[in-house]
Structure 1
Amino acid sequence: MSEFLTIGEPISLFASEDVDASLKDAVHFHKFLAGAEVNVAVGVSRLGHSAQYVTRLGEDPFGDFIKDQLNENHIGTDYIDSTPDYWTAFQLKDRVSHGDPSIFYFRRGSAAAHFDKAMLDKIDFSDLKFAHLSGIFPAISDQALDAFKHLIDLLHEHKIRTTFDPNLRPQLWSSKEKMVSTINALAAEAEIILPGINEGEILMGSRDPEAIADFYLNQSDITQTVVVKVGPEGAYVKTKDGDSYTVPGFKVDHVVDTVGAGDGFALGLVTALIEGKSFRDAVIRGNAVGAFAVQAPGDNDGYPTQEQLAEFLAANPR
Structure 2
Amino acid sequence: MAGTTEPYDVITMGRTGVDIYPLQTGVSLADVETFGKFLGGSATNVAVAAARLGRRTAVISRTGRDPFGDYVHKALREFGVDDRWVTPVERYPTPVTFCEIFPPDDFPLYFYRRPKAPDLVIQPEELDLDAIRAARVFWITGTGLCEEPSRSATLAALEARAKSGTTVFDLDWRPLFWGGEGGASGAGGATGATAMATARPYYEAALAHTTVAVGNLDEAEVATGLRDPHACARALLDMGVELAVIKQGPRGVLAVHRDGRTAEVPPTPVEVVNGLGAGDAFGGALCHGLLAGRPLEDVMRHANAAGALVAGRLACSSAMPTADELEKFLASR
TM-score, with length taken from structure 2: 0.88
Distance 2:208 2:42 in 1: 20
Amino acid of the residue matched to residue 41 of structure 1?
A: A
Identity of aligned pairs, percent?
Answer: 27
1:74 aligns with 2:94: no
Post-superposition shift, 1:19? 2.3
- Is 2:328 the counterpart of 1:311? yes
Indicate which of 298, 320, 327 corresponds to 1:281.
298
| C-alpha deviation, 1:122, in angstroms | 5.9
CA contact (8 A) 1:79 1:123 kept: no
Shift of 1:110: 2.5
The equivalent residue for 1:117 is 124
How far the C-alpha of 1:134 sits from its partner, in A, is 1.1
8 Å Cα contact 2:121/2:148 also seen in 1:
no
Match of 1:212 in 2: 232
The aligned length equals 311
Could you tell me how far apart the structure 2 residues matched to 1:208 and 1:4 are? 30
2:196 and 2:202 map into 1 onto residues whose CA distance is: 10
Cα distance, 1:127 vs structure 2: 5.2
User: Normalized against structure 1, the TM-score is what?
Assistant: 0.91
For 2:169, which of 139, 164, 170 is the aligned residue?
164
1:67 deviates by 0.5
Q: CA deviation at 1:202?
A: 4.6
- Contact 1:209–1:236 (Cα < 8 Å) also in 2: yes
> Is it true that 1:251 corresponds to 2:269 in the alignment?
yes
Q: Is the 8 A contact 2:275 2:310 kept in 1?
A: yes
| Equivalent residue number for residue 109 of structure 2 | 103
Unpaired runs of 5+ residues, structure 2, are 1-5, 180-194
Partner of 1:44: 50
Instruction: Find out whether 1:153 has 2:171 as its counterpart.
Output: no
Q: Which amino acid aligns with 2:24?
A: D
The one-letter code of the counterpart of 1:262 is G
Contact 1:166 1:187 in 2 (8 A): no
Aligned positions of 1:177-192 closer than 5 A: 177-192=197-212
Instruction: Indicate the residue corresponding to 1:143 in structure 2.
Output: 149
Instruction: Give me the whole-angstrom Cα distance separating, in 1, the residues matched to 2:222 and 2:84.
Output: 36
Deviations 1:94-138 (A, max 9, x none): 111332311111113132222222221365357521111111222
Cα offsets for 1:260-311 (capped at 9, x unmatched) = 1111111111101112222222111111111111011112222211211121
| Cα distance in structure 2, aligned partners of 1:202 and 1:273 | 25
RMSD: 1.9
Equivalent residue for 1:242, pick from 260, 271, 277: 260
Structure 1 window deviating more from structure 2 (122-131 vs 171-180): it is: 122-131
Q: Contact 1:3/1:127 (CA < 8 Å) preserved in 2?
A: no
1:138-169 CA distance string (max 9 Å, x none): 22x21110110111012217x23111111100
Note closer, same or farther for the CA distance 1:297–1:200 as it changes in structure 2 (3 Å cut).
Answer: same
